[in-house]
A and B are shown apart, each in its own frame.
Chain A
Amino acid sequence: MLTENCLLNHFQIFYQIFTVENNEIHLIQECLKGNQSAFKAIYENYQGYVYTICIRYGVSVIEVKDSMQIIFMEIFKSIKNYDADKSKFKTWLTRITINQILMQKRKNQIDYAILENEKINLIESTFSVSVEEQIDTKILHGILSKMPVKYISVFNLFIIDGYSHKEIAQSLDIAENTSRILLHRGRIWAMKELKVHFKDTISNFKKAL
């Protein structure tokens, strides 16, 4: 009985993934034909995901509507270039979203030059928490979104979106070493802030920085 349930579950998961992938392809085909319902369906399915990325990268609540409008406009404009064989739709959409956010940030002209020759001071981290520990996602996003603009892009690109320092350096037009420094500072900043906010929630903090 247990085996049957397991098989049924696996089948349901497989069917779900299979259906979603096929539906995405169908939706994209409908978008190419100019079907407004398809555009709406894509927006409604991914608005939460795009919104979360915007907040993570420090887009303010005031700017988020404009940012999302630009991002989805770019997604719809580029949808004809999407190739299902090369990547999943969500991966492709993530790339466009991040690129658009970085482009908007570039307009703010953050000066990374002073960090070029700085050496990383390897301070041993004293923040200690179990990896399995779950904390309030909304609050965590809120904290991280307040990270200084210099660090936030590198922090998100490296830790959450999985870019390498080389890729980050190319995206932000900075040196790889600068990227490492920014990440290190971002980590220290995040640890400090987390300690303040989750002092009561997380039990095994060792000591403050």
Chain B
Amino acid sequence: MENSEFDKFIKSNTHQELDVPEGLDWENMNIPLPPPEKKNRKIIFMLWFGLLFFAAGSMIYFYAKNANQNEAIALDKSEKTSSILETETIEKIVAQDFSNKLTPAISGDSVQITNTAQIPFSQKKDNQKGLNQLTNSTTNTLIIKDSVKVKTFVSNILNQANLTEVPLAAISKNEINQLNIASIQSINALLQFSFEKKRELNIPTYFVASEKTPNPKKKKKKNGLSVTFSFGLNTFNQNYQAGPQAELLKSAEESAIGNSYNLGLEYHIKKGFFTSVGVSYQRLHRTFTFSEELETEINYPAFQKTYRTKRVFYNNYFDFIELNIGGGKSFSFGKNWGSQLALNINPSFKIKSTGRTLDDNESIIDIEDFATKPKVFVSAGAEVRLFYKINSNRVFTSFGYKQALSKIKLLNNSSLSFQPQVLSVTLGVSRDF
């Protein structure tokens, strides 16, 4: 008989429990019991409350900030439009030093102020759509989506200029309200997310007696599936790779807060390792602020010199859907706390990009008019997640970084390309099955 057969024979005949002799019942054992576990629930509650308050507050703050910026532009435009076009007066808003813009020929001449609203705009660049909108119109019917600052400079008054913001077509308030409502709805959706109620359990009276003796050598795999949902805030760097305007764009653009919605599945393999697959909608956000000098008008009889500067502020958005494929490892800190480290590869599908940018001639253009077709690109990244376990639910927050592996062309008739680098913070829940 081989050893393995003998071992099987012994094992199969020893798995049944023996009858317990008298004298070993609970009352006779006098086993000292440990004191109840003292959990400082107040501190845990306060920590969590603080964390959630901070996260929710941050989200609301950033959304409110972005919404206010849009609103402020619209209000300025409507006010200035009426004051300029109807009353034909120049308001002094900001005095700036324009001495460096003086040409030597006229720097010492005395001039008079004329009504700048009557000076026609000249065409600077025929091939630019934005400017065509601006220059092919008369003053009173001038239509442009962005604000234009008209600076009137009087050469005998150095260091002073009349700067008037002339918005020539205000964004309708309805459009702005729609944007704000969409933002608020997304926050509400997160705040209203609730956990499933804990299942009630009964005190047991029996156990399965036929359960085999556990075999540590052949541990059962603790496989499981988790579903995760998270909402995130992100910020990104365009990381321009090519294009003559790339350097200028770096100074014109600033990081802003975007958002993301993520839905994923995690399959836990063993020893804390897991694979994951998911889909997420990402909206990357940057602000574009650019002042473009249009042309200088000199009224020779009066020796009046007028600078026109087009100042554009716009929220640029880059929307895409990405597939998250990856894996990682979980680590436990005590009973309820833990963290996950994950590496992902993300095939992404660009949906649309909106806002303003510069073309190869460094002139402001609407991205949508020149945007490339939706296309696929790939990015890769890493994510660190900190979670708190409540039975089979987890609440987590995560920090992630990812970068596009390929260059993305932004405009059709331009060599401008970029490789987004995205930093993100998410707050989410997951449930194990």
Interchain nearest-CB distance for B422 vs A (Å): 32
Asked if B216 and A162 make an inter-chain contact with CB atoms under 8 angstroms apart, the answer reads yes
A135 to B14 Cα, complex, angstroms: 10
CB of B218 within 8 Å of the partner chain: yes
Residues of A within 8 A of B30 (CB): 69
Residues of A within 8 A of B201 (CB): 22-23, 25-26
B191-202 to A contact mask, C-beta < 8 Å, 1/0: 000000001011
For B212, the closest partner residue in chain A by CB is A90
Asked if B36 and A34 make an inter-chain contact with CB atoms under 8 angstroms apart, the answer reads yes
- Given A16-B208, A47-B24, A86-B222: A140 and B14 within 8 A (CB)? yes
CB of A85 within 8 Å of the partner chain: yes
A83 to B333 Cα, complex, angstroms: 12
A59 to B219 Cα, complex, angstroms: 27
Residues of A within 8 A of B31 (CB): 39, 43, 69, 72-73, 76
**CB under 8 Å from chain B, chain A span 1-53:** 16-17, 19-20, 22-27, 30, 32-34, 36-41, 43-45, 47-49, 51-52
Interchain nearest-CB distance for A197 vs B (Å): 12
A190 to B7 Cα, complex, angstroms: 11
CB of B103 within 8 Å of the partner chain: no
- Given A131-B12, A141-B18: A65 and B214 within 8 A (CB)? no
**CB under 8 Å from chain A, chain B span 213-263:** 213-220, 222
For B28, the closest partner residue in chain A by CB is A65
Asked if A52 and B17 make an inter-chain contact with CB atoms under 8 angstroms apart, the answer reads yes
Q: SS class of chain A's interface: helix, strand, loop or mixed? A: helix
- Given A39-B33, A140-B13: A44 and B26 within 8 A (CB)? yes
Residues of A within 8 A of B86 (CB): none
Residues of A within 8 A of B26 (CB): 40, 43-44
Residues of A within 8 A of B126 (CB): none
Residues of A within 8 A of B3 (CB): 125, 187
CB of B1 within 8 Å of the partner chain: yes
Residues of A within 8 A of B332 (CB): 83
A90 to B212 Cα, complex, angstroms: 10
For B392, the closest partner residue in chain A by CB is A85
CB of A134 within 8 Å of the partner chain: yes
A40 to B3 Cα, complex, angstroms: 41
Asked if B217 and A163 make an inter-chain contact with CB atoms under 8 angstroms apart, the answer reads yes
Name B203's contact: one of A23, A73, A159 (CB within 8 Å).
A23
CB of B93 within 8 Å of the partner chain: no
Interchain nearest-CB distance for B200 vs A (Å): 9
Asked if A125 and B6 make an inter-chain contact with CB atoms under 8 angstroms apart, the answer reads yes
Asked if B215 and A51 make an inter-chain contact with CB atoms under 8 angstroms apart, the answer reads no
A76 to B32 Cα, complex, angstroms: 9
Asked if A55 and B18 make an inter-chain contact with CB atoms under 8 angstroms apart, the answer reads yes
A155-173 to B contact mask, C-beta < 8 Å, 1/0: 0001111111001000000
A130 to B13 Cα, complex, angstroms: 12
- Given A33-B36, A68-B29, A127-B1: A133 and B9 within 8 A (CB)? yes
For B32, B34, B211, which residue has the most chain A Cβ atoms within 10 angstroms?
B34
CB of B207 within 8 Å of the partner chain: yes
For B23, B29, B204, B206, which residue has the most chain A Cβ atoms within 10 angstroms?
B204
Asked if A52 and B18 make an inter-chain contact with CB atoms under 8 angstroms apart, the answer reads yes
For B27, the closest partner residue in chain A by CB is A40
CB of A91 within 8 Å of the partner chain: yes
Interchain nearest-CB distance for B7 vs A (Å): 5
Asked if A23 and B33 make an inter-chain contact with CB atoms under 8 angstroms apart, the answer reads no
Residues of B within 8 A of A30 (CB): 203
Asked if A65 and B33 make an inter-chain contact with CB atoms under 8 angstroms apart, the answer reads no
CB of A94 within 8 Å of the partner chain: yes
Residues of B within 8 A of A37 (CB): 203
Asked if A20 and B204 make an inter-chain contact with CB atoms under 8 angstroms apart, the answer reads yes
Asked if B335 and A83 make an inter-chain contact with CB atoms under 8 angstroms apart, the answer reads yes
- Given A69-B31, A131-B9: A41 and B20 within 8 A (CB)? no
Interchain nearest-CB distance for B281 vs A (Å): 31
CB of B37 within 8 Å of the partner chain: yes
Interchain nearest-CB distance for B56 vs A (Å): 29
Asked if B10 and A190 make an inter-chain contact with CB atoms under 8 angstroms apart, the answer reads yes
Asked if B14 and A94 make an inter-chain contact with CB atoms under 8 angstroms apart, the answer reads no
CB of A60 within 8 Å of the partner chain: no
Extra A-B contacts (11), CB below 8 Å, given A51-B24, A125-B2, A141-B14? A26-B201, A26-B204, A34-B35, A47-B24, A79-B34, A95-B216, A125-B1, A137-B13, A137-B14, A140-B10, A190-B6
Q: List 16 A–B pairs whose Cβ atoms lie within 8 Å, in order of A's numbering.
A: A20-B207, A20-B208, A23-B204, A34-B37, A39-B31, A41-B204, A52-B16, A68-B29, A80-B37, A90-B214, A126-B1, A127-B1, A129-B1, A130-B9, A160-B213, A187-B6
